[in-house]
């Protein structure tokens, strides 16, 4: 598994790089093949390490964010969260992960069986607008996200409010 570590406004000690690569390899390699990419982004905010771990494999993306006083603890918590995500969605993701990913990975029974049911479908007309107008519409509706046709590109986009209070836009990758 290829691991990339990026730090914002802080230095990454060499021993942490080795620790992170070893932990990711030993804890996550049983789920993912060698061509998986793990990306760690760290930043120090108010004596806390904010760590974001993203693992990409076969068009599946797993992501976890954790904060802790120690970067090793934050990394271990993020890895645990990704394992919980895999476990919760076991039947859905095992087809895309390695064939042997779930043979012995979980000896104990899974308590959380995730059954999803679509309870509502909604159709609505979307008129072209820019990102600023979409954010305004989302805030006026008091929604967490808003889907719109981007006036600049003509494509369907989604704008959403992040946990940190900022906004983000999801755009399709047409490559």
With respect to residue 114, please indicate whether it lies within any of the assigned structural domains.
no
The dihedrals phi and psi of 166, each to the nearest 5 degrees, come to -85, 175
Q: Taking the CA of residue 24 as centre, how many other CA atoms within 13 Å lie in the half-sphere pointing to its CB?
A: 26
Domain that holds residue 152: 128-170
Are 24 and 84 contained in the same domain?
A: yes
The pTM assigned to this predicted structure is 0.61
Among 81, 90, 93, smallest CA distance to 110 is for 90
pLDDT tens for 118-148 read: 888 888 888 899 999 898 888 877 788 999 9
pLDDT tens for 152-164 read: 999 999 999 988 8
CA angle (68 as vertex; 169, 59 as ends), nearest 5: 40
Paired tokens of 90: 């076991």
With respect to residue 34, please indicate whether it lies within any of the assigned structural domains.
yes
């Amino acid at each position: 598994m290829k691991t990339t570590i990026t730090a914002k406004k802080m230095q990454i000690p060499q021993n942490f790089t080795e620790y992170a690569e070893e932990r990711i390899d030993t804890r996550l390699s049983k789920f993912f093949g060698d061509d998986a990419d793990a990306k760690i982004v760290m930043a120090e905010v108010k004596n806390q390490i904010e760590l974001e771990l993203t693992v990409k494999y076969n068009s599946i993306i797993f992501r976890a964010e954790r904060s802790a006083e120690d970067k090793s603890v934050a990394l271990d918590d993020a890895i645990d969260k990704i394992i919980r995500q895999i476990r919760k969605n076991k039947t859905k993701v095992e087809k895309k992960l390695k064939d042997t990913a779930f043979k012995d990975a979980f000896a104990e029974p899974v308590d959380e069986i995730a059954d999803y049911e679509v309870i509502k479908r909604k159709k609505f007309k979307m008129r072209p607008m820019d990102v600023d107008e979409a954010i305004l519409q989302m805030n006026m509706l008091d929604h967490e996200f808003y889907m719109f046709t981007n006036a600049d590109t003509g494509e369907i986009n989604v704008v959403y409010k992040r946990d940190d209070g900022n906004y983000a836009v999801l755009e399709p990758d047409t490559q």
